[in-house]
Copies of this chain bind each other. A is one copy, B any other.
């Protein structure tokens, strides 16, 4: 079943069918009605390969998600999809593995889908720096900053991760904690050229939090790198508590890691927050269902989503240069921090 069959049955040329299918105005009501009737009757769906092959620009927004299992992104995505739909556009979602190259994918999407614009949920700054020049449509990078890269067609909407991490540390210090362990992602001195992948940024924020409060932070002892996963957090917490049995609090740079840490603490026969206080990062739904509820630095996923879509649609409509927005985070108190001053 192709557009040709539809044309034949309806008694029009394929061009006319195409115009009806794409909602062009220059078709008579009669033709439209007849053709739509045949389409409905046959259940015809046009072949997207053929369509995209020829089309100059589709009316879709592409969303490239780095990590199908990332719950923060899942939350943002849901909101993005409903906002894109509300704006009368379709969202085409592409899920990538953590270590796939999102910019490479974007180049491909530009060529094959020809979207109005691309939204990146997560991204590696090096990939952007190295290859983003090859993507030409308007883009917004969400949760990671892009202001230092200076691309005219790359905006960003993100959380101030350094400040978020700093405040997490401050919060623990205010509660009277002095020996605090930190669980974060892997990063190397060189991998955030220009100063920023997420793990590194949050790490620097931590360090600043300690420094400003005059609380010592021995990176060798008090920091443990791990994967962003529950087992990662579990093992890291174990390693830290083994190495520094006198820690009274942990900061995990993602809620998922924090959930792993929570379990590790319990398995060592300790309790949260009575023995060890714990704070996470991201503010995923899950954090509110932990026992105890997790204190966390909440990225405002709804607002990140809303602003990203607004900015992207404006840029797609020809609205000027790149914009870089910071969305304020919230410190959720949870039930996992003990106040030692009380």
Give the B-binding residues of A (Cβ under 8 A).
45, 47-50, 52-53, 68-69, 74, 77, 93, 95, 107-108, 111-112, 230, 234, 259-260, 262-263, 266, 285-286, 288-291
Contacts and interface: CB of A to CB of B under 8 A. Distances in A.
B74 A112 contact: no
A48 B94 CA distance: 15
Given A47-B53, A95-B95, A234-B289, 11 more contacts: A47-B111, A48-B49, A48-B108, A48-B112, A53-B53, A230-B286, A230-B289, A259-B286, A262-B289, A266-B291, A290-B291
Given A266-B291, A289-B263, A291-B266, A49 B230 contact: no
Contacts of A290: 263, 291
Contacts of A263: 288-291
A130 to B, nearest CB: 12
A50 B111 CA distance: 11
Contact of A53 (B50, B93, B107, B111): B50
A285 B68 contact: no
Contacts of A95: 68, 93, 95
Contacts of A266: 291
Given A52-B49, A53-B49, A53-B50, A262 B286 contact: no
Contacts of A112: 47-49
A23 to B, nearest CB: 20
Nearest to A288: B263
A266 to B, nearest CB: 5
Contacts of A234: 289
Nearest to A69: B74
The 7 closest A-B CB pairs, nearest first, are A49-B53, A49-B49, A263-B289, A49-B52, A291-B291, A230-B289, A49-B112
A131 to B, nearest CB: 9
Contacts of A288: 263
Nearest to A293: B263
A95 B228 CA distance: 23
A9 to B, nearest CB: 19
A80 to B, nearest CB: 13
A56 to B, nearest CB: 13
A69 B93 CA distance: 14
Contacts of A48: 49, 108, 112
A262 B260 CA distance: 17
Contacts of A259: 286, 289
Contacts of A289: 230, 234, 259-260, 262-263
Contacts of A93: 95
Nearest to A234: B289
